[in-house]
Structure 1
């Protein structure tokens, strides 16, 4: 029996890792996963549009996520940053990932509104771009609209006007709005205004019961690493 154990133990470990695991090689790594959604939410990839019908749907560089007038989505990035996406929204996900400590993420918000909770970044990049502005984030909770309006619940966001190059740093309970001439108007939000901004995303806080979704990465030399993601049951 002792001699047989050296064969069965490795097989058992491989079987456990294989349950729910998706393997991505070094050149084809997802940037994020759609953890939770409410119909209808769609994904545009390589010019083809399809409705999302499964939780844990991976998002890759260049994918476009869309919600209709009744659609919500909750997206988790590989560094554990989260994005809540309101109805009637459209965003493009771009970036690069080596592992969850070394990521670069750019969200192009083309329509609608999003609320983000961005993990502490250090030297890593996380940007949200709209038609007229770029918001650079190091770690914070903030909202953005495609109409070039940004608001911060906590942390700091640097907003830069594409037209003029003007930059404004927004801190806790502040807002910034890019004007038609490219200047940025900023100010403070009242507690009531901040509450109203957050209320639109409250539906995405309901019934979040996660299951573990394992992603196994392989690098160019064949080495492997398993990262666990929490994936939430979807509402019908």
Structure 2
């Protein structure tokens, strides 16, 4: 084979590789434009289960017992029964506390150029404490509403014909799925979205805010001081911190 023929074959092979690379790039760009995000491993992990919680992977049809440390990836569901609780921690250290008799799904997509983590509430409710991230956001969805969140705290609950959002810190854009009406729910307020398309907000009661804060943070941090004496009669102070 002559040197000229070798060069032609190398150039042809190189052109073929460039064409393949170009097609791959176009496919990735098209996927991004369509709202797909490449898999980046687990979205979150189950940090605590009380006393028993189940989960369902996207590809499974059956529910399995969830354990502390189990990873959650796109499309996974978590379910709690009566008198049970699940604590979910995302990779950015945001926290979700799924209360009893609730079901949610974790998912991801790209919305308006931002990597978005979705939490879909099927029933029940959960408290949330989200960290503000650059170019990332959370979207909470329920049967009647969508809440866009970046760094805030509160609780989302689903009910018969309506969903409620209580915000204890920050501000949340709350939208009704039926009418597409939107409102801003600020800290200290509760938003109500109904299946008839209506959406409104009001000042939350002290009891409602306390319940939302308890679900979001795991309880109020209290400090108990005890005064002790050793064998020599010297006083020592012991401080115990606990949540209730």
Normalising by structure 2, we get a TM-score of: 0.66
Q: Which contiguous aligned blocks of 4+ residues in structure 1 show a shift greater than 6 angstroms?
A: 201-206
Q: Aligned in 2, Cα 1:183/1:191: closer, same or farther, shift over 3 Å?
A: same
What per-residue deviation string (whole Å, max 9, x for no partner) do you get for residues 169-227 of structure 1? 11111100012421112111133331144446786789xxxxxxxxxxxxxxxxxxxxx
For structure 1, list consecutive stretches of 5 or more residues without a partner in the other structure. 1-25, 207-236
The structural deviation recorded for 1:71 is: 1.2
Q: Aligned in 2, Cα 1:35/1:44: closer, same or farther, shift over 3 Å?
A: same
Give the 5 Å matches for 1:1-236: 27=39, 29-45=41-57, 46=59, 47-52=61-66, 54-95=67-108, 103-147=115-159, 148-199=163-214
Name the CA distance, whole Å, in 2 between partners of 1:36 and 1:204: 15
More helix by share: 2
Name the CA distance, whole Å, in 2 between partners of 1:35 and 1:180: 34
Name the CA distance, whole Å, in 1 between partners of 2:49 and 2:175: 31
For structure 2, list consecutive stretches of 5 or more residues without a partner in the other structure. 1-37, 222-244
Contact 2:176 2:194 (8 Å CA) reproduced:
no
Name the CA distance, whole Å, in 2 between partners of 1:33 and 1:204: 21
Give the structure with higher Rg (CA): 2
> How many aligned residue pairs are there?
176
Name the CA distance, whole Å, in 2 between partners of 1:76 and 1:96: 19
Q: Aligned in 2, Cα 1:28/1:137: closer, same or farther, shift over 3 Å?
A: closer
The structural deviation recorded for 1:34 is: 0.3
What per-residue deviation string (whole Å, max 9, x for no partner) do you get for residues 77-121 of structure 1? 011110011010000110169xxxx85210110011100001013
